[in-house]
């Protein structure tokens, strides 16, 4: 399973907190992580192995979107800052639209991400595979 992790600047601390709260889940289940550049650096500092793309404003969101279209991403966790202005908003919208087009689960806040993690823990515990 490959999970893309992205966070706007105003949400990076919250993302790191979320990941630290669930670090055993991310480490123990053979989950591959892919992230935009700066978010990936934060995840590495939190103790996770992650494949880093460019930072969001430099095309990282688009790189992740292309992987999504290729069927190489199973879930996106994207902590968005709905109150901030983002120069790459077009890329963000494109990524979210492609999640809908390709039926890829997308969590845009900690509550949704928590539900996904809880669901995946249950799926792994029971030995079932997620439908695609």
Residue 20: pLDDT above 60?
Answer: yes
Sign of the C-alpha dihedral, residues 13, 17, 23, 25? negative
Tell me which DSSP letter residue 9 carries: G
> pTM of the prediction?
0.88
The answer to whether domain 2-123 has CATH 3.40.50.1380 is: yes
Render pLDDT for 77-109 as a digit per residue (tens, 0 to 9). 999 988 777 676 778 889 999 999 999 999 999
Top-confidence residue, 122 or 128: 122
Q: Can you tell me the mean pLDDT for 49-77?
A: 94
Catalytic residues: 61
Residue 132: pLDDT above 50?
Answer: no
Q: Could you tell me the maximum CA-CA distance found in the chain, to the nearest angstrom?
A: 43
* pLDDT at residue number 128: 55
Give the percent of the chain with pLDDT over 90.
65
Q: Can you tell me the mean pLDDT for 48-76?
A: 94
Tell me which DSSP letter residue 84 carries: S
The two tokens of residue 45 are 């500092």
């Amino acid at each position: 399973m490959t999970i893309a992790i992205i966070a706007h600047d105003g949400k990076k601390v919250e993302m790191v907190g979320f990941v630290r709260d669930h670090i055993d889940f991310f480490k123990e289940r053979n989950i591959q992580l892919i992230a935009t550049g700066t978010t990936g650096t934060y995840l590495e500092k939190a103790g996770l192995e992650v494949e880093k793309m460019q930072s969001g404003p430099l095309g990282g969101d688009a790189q992740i979107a292309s992987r999504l279209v290729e069927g190489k991403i199973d879930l996106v966790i994207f902590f968005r800052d709905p109150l901030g202005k983002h120069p790459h908003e077009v890329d963000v919208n494109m990524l979210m639209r492609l999640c809908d087009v390709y039926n890829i689960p997308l969590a845009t806040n900690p509550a949704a991400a928590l539900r996904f993690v809880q669901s995946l823990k249950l799926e792994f515990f029971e030995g079932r595979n997620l439908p695609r």
